[in-house]
Amino acid sequence: MKLVSMTTVVPWMVFMVAMASMMEHGMGHSCSSTFFSALVQMIPCRAAVAPFSPIPPSEACCNAIRTLGQPCLCVLVNGPPISGVDRSMAMQLPAKCTTNFEPCDIGK
C-alpha cells in the first residue's frame, strides 16, 4: 500500500477548509451535510476523481457515495472548483458505483 505524504495531504485539507468557509450551509438543497462535511466524506474517492486518473472508485469510495446521497453529491459538483478534482469524473461516480442517482443539474 502506498502511503500518502503529509506534504500532499496537508495542503489539500487546508484548501478544503478554506473552500468550506466560503460556502453557505445547505445552499437550498435537501442535503443535510455542509459542503465541508460532504467533501470530507468523499476523501476515499480522491484517487478516482483526480484529473486523467485511470483508477476506478474503490469499495470505500462507493460506500461513501451511497452514504452521502445524490443531493450532497450535487452540492459538491455544483460548488466551487476543488483542487485536484475533475468534476466530470466526480459526476460519473454514481454510475461506476452502480447507484441509481438522478443526474445533477449543473449550475443550479
Cα 85 from Cα 72, distance rounded (Å) = 16
Residue 85: partners with Cβ closer than 8 Å, 6 or more residues away: 46, 49, 50, 51
Topology of 29-96 in CATH?
Hydrophobic Seed Protein (1.10.110)
| pLDDT at site 23 | 41
For 52, residues 6+ apart whose C-beta sits below 8 A from its C-beta are 86
DSSP symbol at 26: S
Measure the N-to-C terminal CA separation of the chain; round to a whole number of Å: 39
**Per-domain residue ranges of the chain:** 29-96
Return the SS3 of 77.
helix
Q: Could you list the pLDDT tens digit for every one of the 108 residues in the chain?
A: 455 555 555 555 544 544 444 344 333 447 888 888 889 999 999 999 999 999 999 999 999 999 999 999 998 888 888 889 999 999 999 999 999 888 887 765
pLDDT at 78: 87
Report the pLDDT value the prediction gives residue 28, as an integer from 0 to 100: 41
